[in-house]
């Protein structure tokens, strides 16, 4: 019988010795080993897990070493003020939402925004208006938002207090953030950016631009996703267009009063690394990526999407692409899920799979050995093992909104069978994974199209969050006239 399930699980995983093409950005410690300072930090990290004693400052009222580190961070990213987040981008998203908006405010947000943003919308009691996603039929993935729909939403909702946008998304695909920021300013709306996957942006000319430098009001970045920083670390950057007292209060409220100095030191290190070596090392990373795209794309059955592929695919909606991400696209009839499992069995840890694609996060700390391992695995892949019925991604029209998500949170819910749920108000979010775009959001009225869409995914063995044994939760009094 196991005594320490979590550590034993980690140990088993480490024995696999996979080439790390997933988070965190330090890639099993390699990111710390790449500089002299990082090596010292790595050695002392656990001994240095101390508390806020005299001389070590206070994250919630920085006046010493943490203040100095925050000033360096702010300067490196060109913000008005920056914050260290020891509770991840999650806490940054909550703090952005709570400090920019008040109860009842209308906000424009992607339908597949991150869960922390949706939770923030519930807890802050906001009225969300959703931007449509756009599905790439060719690559069978939700690669972008529908920019035309976005512009129309703005036009129809000039009373909205702000826009919350993801830049880039999990695939490394970038919306036209310049244009969106311009529109937000014109319409006097706050522009908040979930840039969890974009902490490295702006440090190399081949990477997309940084949203905070382009004038966004508030930008959250995960430090651990793409930089050499420990998991659950993040930065919040704000412009001088926001109420700093409110941001201070909410950042503090959503962060532990006993922050880990291991996490703080690693965030400081990641900033230092990017300033001193980011441009050069990401150049190496991107060039290595391009080199192996060419090699891999000569293999039968796989296509790593290039920046050009993506921009050609969808020029109105896709503005830029992060070349430190690989999207390995499979031909019709082959499964991304099967590929990610195959890669893992062959010593390559990828980040994400959907029906037709596998996403990898490349980093300066991925050496050529990692790429060779990936290449060889793909080259030697028995394609027959990856054969699968193709399930084309479909999305439904947004259902009628009867209640706001926060209103549902206070109501009693009851379980009903899917086929008896028509006309009822949904009490949970119903989300097929992939593509991760909600079919129904709590408070929306369950219609025929939504039920058909749920049945389509269930029939094709796609996990649909919110559905258990063909049943879902509805609002008890929620029968629509």
Q: Which of residues 274-293 bind a copy of itself (CB under 8 A)?
A: 276
Encoded tokens for 355: 């029906």
Residues 327-346 that bind a copy of itself (CB under 8 A): 341, 344
Q: How far is the C-alpha of 404 from the C-alpha of 217, rounded, in Å?
A: 26
> Among 77, 98, 167, 292, which residue sits at the site for a copy of itself (rule: CB under 8 A)?
98
- Site string (128-167) toward a copy of itself, x via CB under 8 A: ----------------------------------------
Q: How far is the C-alpha of 310 from the C-alpha of 323, rounded, in Å?
A: 11
Residues 425-454 that bind a copy of itself (CB under 8 A): none
Q: CB 4 → a copy of itself: shortest distance, Å?
A: 5
Q: CB 361 → a copy of itself: shortest distance, Å?
A: 10
Residues 31-90 that bind a copy of itself (CB under 8 A): 32, 37, 40-42, 44-51, 53-57, 64-66, 68-69, 72, 86-90
Q: CB 225 → a copy of itself: shortest distance, Å?
A: 8
Residues in the chain: 481
Residue 229 or 421: which CB sits closer to a copy of itself?
A: 229
Residue 184 or 339: which CB sits closer to a copy of itself?
A: 339
Q: CB 179 → a copy of itself: shortest distance, Å?
A: 29
**In this structure, are residues 201 and 211 in contact, taking their beta carbons and an 8 Å threshold?**
yes
The reply on whether position 8 binds a copy of itself by CB under 8 A is yes
Q: CB 309 → a copy of itself: shortest distance, Å?
A: 27
> Among 19, 26, 356, 426, which residue sits at the site for a copy of itself (rule: CB under 8 A)?
26
Residues 366-425 that bind a copy of itself (CB under 8 A): 409-410
The reply on whether position 480 binds a copy of itself by CB under 8 A is no
Residue 178 or 338: which CB sits closer to a copy of itself?
A: 338
The reply on whether position 12 binds a copy of itself by CB under 8 A is yes
Q: Count interface residues toward a copy of itself (CB under 8 A).
A: 88
Q: CB 376 → a copy of itself: shortest distance, Å?
A: 21
Q: CB 479 → a copy of itself: shortest distance, Å?
A: 22
Q: How far is the C-alpha of 455 from the C-alpha of 248, rounded, in Å?
A: 46
Task: Tell me, rounded to whole angstroms, the distance of Cα 153 from its chain centroid.
Answer: 23
- Site string (103-122) toward a copy of itself, x via CB under 8 A: -----------xxx--x---
Q: How far is the C-alpha of 382 from the C-alpha of 321, rounded, in Å?
A: 30
- Site string (243-272) toward a copy of itself, x via CB under 8 A: ------x--xxxxxxxxxxxxxx--xx--x
Q: CB 148 → a copy of itself: shortest distance, Å?
A: 31
Q: CB 168 → a copy of itself: shortest distance, Å?
A: 17
Identify which of 140, 103, 150, 93 has the alpha carbon closest to the alpha carbon of residue 124: 103
> Among 133, 166, 232, 329, which residue sits at the site for a copy of itself (rule: CB under 8 A)?
232
Residue 73 or 310: which CB sits closer to a copy of itself?
A: 73
Residue 158 or 412: which CB sits closer to a copy of itself?
A: 412
Q: CB 303 → a copy of itself: shortest distance, Å?
A: 24
Element (H, E) at 358: strand 357-361
- Site string (185-224) toward a copy of itself, x via CB under 8 A: -------------------------------------x-x
Residue 102 or 152: which CB sits closer to a copy of itself?
A: 102
Q: CB 298 → a copy of itself: shortest distance, Å?
A: 29
> Among 9, 104, 301, 392, which residue sits at the site for a copy of itself (rule: CB under 8 A)?
9
**In this structure, are residues 418 and 472 in contact, taking their beta carbons and an 8 Å threshold?**
yes
**Contacting range for a copy of itself; rule: CB under 8 A; set: 149-157, 227-235, 386-394, 439-447:** 227-235
Map the chain to HEC letters.
CCCCHHHHHHHHHHHHCCEECCCCCCCCCHHHHCCHHHHHHHHHCCCCCCCCCCCCCCCCCCCCHHHHHHHHHHHHHCCCEEEEECCHHHHHHHHHHHHHCCCCCEEEEECCCCHHHHHHHHHCCCEEEEECEEEECCCCEEEEECHHHHHHHHHHCCCCCEEEEECCCCCCEECCHHHHHHHHHHCCCEEEEECCCCCCCCCCCCCCCCCCCCCCCEEEEEHHHHCCCCCCCEEEEECCCCCHHHHHHHHHHCCCCCCCHHHHHHHHHHHHHHHHHHHHHHHHHHHHHHHHHHHHCCCCCEEECCHHHHHHHCCCCCCEECCCEEEEEECCCECHHHHHHHHHHCCEECCEECCCEEEEECCCCCCHHHHHHHHHHHHCCCHHHHECCCCCCCCCCCCCECCCHHHHHCCCEEEEEHHHCCCEEECCCEEEECCCCCCECCCEECCHHHHHHHHHHHHCCCEEECCECCEEEEEEEEECC
Residue 297 or 367: which CB sits closer to a copy of itself?
A: 367
Q: CB 297 → a copy of itself: shortest distance, Å?
A: 26
Q: How far is the C-alpha of 475 from the C-alpha of 481, rounded, in Å?
A: 14
Residue 55 or 315: which CB sits closer to a copy of itself?
A: 55
């Amino acid at each position: 019988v196991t005594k320490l399930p979590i550590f034993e699980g980690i140990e088993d995983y480490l024995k696999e010795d996979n080439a790390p093409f997933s988070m965190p950005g330090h890639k099993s410690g390699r990111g710390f080993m790449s500089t002299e300072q990082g090596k010292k930090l790595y050695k002392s990290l656990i001994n240095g897990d101390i508390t806020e004693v005299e001389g070590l400052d206070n994250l919630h009222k920085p006046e010493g070493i943490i203040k100095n580190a925050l000033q360096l961070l702010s300067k490196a990213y060109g913000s008005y003020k920056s914050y260290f987040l020891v509770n991840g981008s999650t806490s940054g998203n909550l703090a952005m939402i709570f400090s920019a908006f008040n109860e009842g405010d209308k906000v424009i947000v992607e339908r597949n925004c991150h869960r922390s943003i949706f939770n923030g919308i519930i807890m802050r009691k906001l009225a969300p208006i959703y931007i449509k996603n756009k599905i790439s039929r060719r690559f069978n993935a939700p690669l972008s938002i529908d920019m035309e729909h976005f512009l129309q939403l703005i036009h129809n909702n000039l009373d909205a207090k702000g826009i919350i946008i993801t830049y880039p998304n999990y695939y490394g695909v970038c919306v036209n953030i310049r244009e969106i920021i311009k529109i937000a300013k014109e319409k006097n709306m706050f522009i908040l950016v979930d840039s969890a996957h974009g902490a490295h942006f702006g440090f190399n000319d081949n990477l997309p631009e940084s949203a905070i430098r382009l004038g966004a009001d508030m930008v959250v970045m995960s430090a651990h996703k793409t930089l050499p920083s420990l998991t659950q670390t993040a930065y919040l950057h704000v412009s001088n267009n926001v109420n700093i007292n409110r941001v201070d209060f909410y950042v503090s409220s959503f962060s532990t009063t006993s922050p880990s100095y291991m996490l703080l030191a690693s965030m400081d290190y990641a900033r230092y690394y990017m300033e001193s070596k980011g441009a050069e090392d990401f150049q190496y990373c991107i060039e290595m990526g391009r080199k192996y795209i060419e090699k891999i794309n000569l293999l039968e059955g796989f296509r790593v999407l290039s920046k050009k592929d993506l921009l050609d695919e969808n020029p109105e909606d896709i503005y830029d692409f992060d070349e430190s991400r690989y999207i390995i696209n499979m031909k019709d009839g082959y499964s991304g899920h099967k590929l990610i499992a195959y890669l893992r069995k062959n010593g390559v840890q990828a980040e994400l799979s959907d029906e037709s694609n596998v996403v990898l996060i490349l980093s300066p700390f991925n050496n050529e050995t990692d790429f060779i391992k990936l290449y060889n695995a793909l080259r030697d892949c028995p394609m027959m093992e990856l054969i699968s019925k193709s399930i084309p991604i479909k999305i439904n029209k947004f259902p009628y909104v009867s209640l706001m998500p926060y209103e549902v949170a206070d109501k009693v819910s009851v379980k009903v069978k899917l086929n008896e749920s028509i006309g009822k108000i949904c009490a949970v979010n119903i989300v097929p994974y992939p593509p991760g775009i909600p079919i129904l959001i709590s408070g929306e009225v369950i219609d025929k199209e939504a039920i058909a869409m749920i049945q389509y995914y269930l029939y094709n063995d796609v996990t649909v969050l919110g559905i258990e044994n063909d049943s879902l939760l509805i609002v008890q009094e929620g029968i629509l006239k």
